[in-house]
Amino acid sequence: MLFNSWTFAVFLPVVFLLHHAGRRAAWQVGVLTAASFAFYGWERPSLLVLLVLSTAVNSFAAQALLSGTTPTGRRRAVLVGALAFNLGVLGFFKYGGMLARTFLPAALSARMPWLADIPLPVGISFYTFQGISLVMESWRAGAAGFPGLSAPHGVRQTVWFHARVWFFKAFFPQLIAGPIVKAGEFFHQIGAKRWADIDWDGAARKLVLGFFLKMVVADNLKEATATLHFPEFLELPRLNLLGLLYGFSLQILADFGGYSLIAQGLAKLFGYELPLNFNHPYLSASITEFWRRWHLSLSSWLREYLYIPLGGNRHGEARTYLNLFLVMFLGGLWHGAAWSYAAWGTAHGLLLAVERFTGMGRGRAADWPRWRRFLGIAVTFNVVSLLWLLFKLPEIGHVAAYLRCLVSNRGGIMPQPVFVIALFGLPVVLHHLWGAFSPSFPGSPAARQRLSTLAHGAMLAAILVNAGTPGDFIYFQF
């Protein structure tokens, strides 16, 4: 079910009213859990089988890991088994086809063609990472538990324990495309919610901005950047090629950033806080800063459950560079089952290593002289935008063809597509300018609030009159 569909427009108020019709936590958690599974399986009920299996395995694993009576050897076996299950399922469904196409002999592939065409369940990367977070947090906490979750005692506590785990795994605002919520960030929030405590203003602002970025900006840019596809771009003028590159860069931020804001706004309606996922990433003056602003929930997850366990920066420079490379390589593959995504992650990893080696990644870029920061923002935006080609054109040969055309194609410009990209890309630029200058905006906080309210009113009007053709969110494929 898409957030920007009429089905969801009916689904949301029904679930909201049912949720707040009861005052007990058990009722509210039950309503949201049932609604979340309905949301996920609405168009393809078969998807529920894998989500139910994943949730059940992680739920019982967490219970065993938190129990003070589980022997150490068995705890270790449960941990290894749960991680193997999560990574195995993710690997099979997400990377089985890619590995089969790459490594299987042609004769074997011909006899078993299904190996190269394994379907990808929507959202599997996100809910699998949440399952791993639950297992790891339970392993680290042991019998002490962590805020909001501890080993149950008795039938009633056991039922409530598993009810909360199923709710955590399936909570519909962030189920399909994040933000990736770590167990320690969520379980302490579970409890009875009151109508009077709803942050209506915060929810409304995030929902309006999120739907505006998706429906007005991203969906219109989607139409304008459709020719950034092989072979359509081969004959385009160089300026149009650049326009397509920057247009897709703005589109992917508006699309994914819009989804994250909608998820945060929806969660607020039910009394829950989801982590910030984007912090004006195109204001970054280095690749290091970019990863402190872009997809923050993934960056945090990779740092806590991969980079630090690998040793982080605690075992010398050479090991640190290797860890950076491995984390970004795997982070690239997480985004998609194609070697172009691995190349994208590798390129970011190499750039992070170069910045660390030269000292650019250390300290706060905000403390740089203004001219250096502006130059850094321009360079970083261009580098990041260029690397997004590996998302839009998953075949490396097509990326190479684009770069050749960028150098060798004719000059001139086809103005209409570039104008559309500039028009619908402008709100992303203004959003970043607001992020950069609003703290020092002249006038009182009340004046800034009024200006923000006017902007949100204008965005709401644009949603009603100028939405683009509806389409899936880009990160659904991951």
The number of beta carbons lying within 10 Å of the beta carbon of residue 87 is: 12
Residue 189 per-residue DSSP state: G
3-class SS at 146?
A: strand
Distance (Å, whole) CA 123 – CA 259: 13
CA nearest 213: which of 263, 286, 272? 263
| Tokens representing residue 398 in the block | 């097509």
What is the C-alpha radius of gyration for the chain, rounded to an integer number of angstroms? Answer: 23
Distance (Å, whole) CA 267 – CA 214: 18
Of 20, 335, 398, 431, catalytic: 335
The two most distant CA atoms of the chain are separated, in Å, by 75
75 neighbors 83 (Cβ within 8 angstroms) = no
Q: What is the DSSP string of 262-290?
A: HHHHHHHHTT--PPP--S-GGG-SSHHHH
Distance, C-alpha 205 to centroid of its chain: 20
Residue 236 per-residue DSSP state: S
Is the link from the previous residue into 179 a cis peptide, with omega within 30 of 0?
yes
CA nearest 421: which of 265, 226, 236, 255? 226
* Residue 153 falls in the annotated catalytic set: no
3-class SS at 149?
A: strand
CA dihedral 340, 342, 346, 352 (to 10 degrees): 100
Q: Is 32 exposed, middle or buried (0-12, 13-18, 19+ CB in 10 A)?
A: buried
In this structure, the chain runs to a length of 478
Q: What share of the chain is helix, strand, coil (3-state, %, to 5)?
A: 75, 0, 25
Distance (Å, whole) CA 424 – CA 352: 31
List 146's β-bridge partners, or say none: 149
At 332, the amino acid letter reads: G
CA nearest 300: which of 129, 177, 89? 129
Distance (Å, whole) CA 391 – CA 398: 11
At 146, the amino acid letter reads: F
Q: Active-site positions?
A: 335
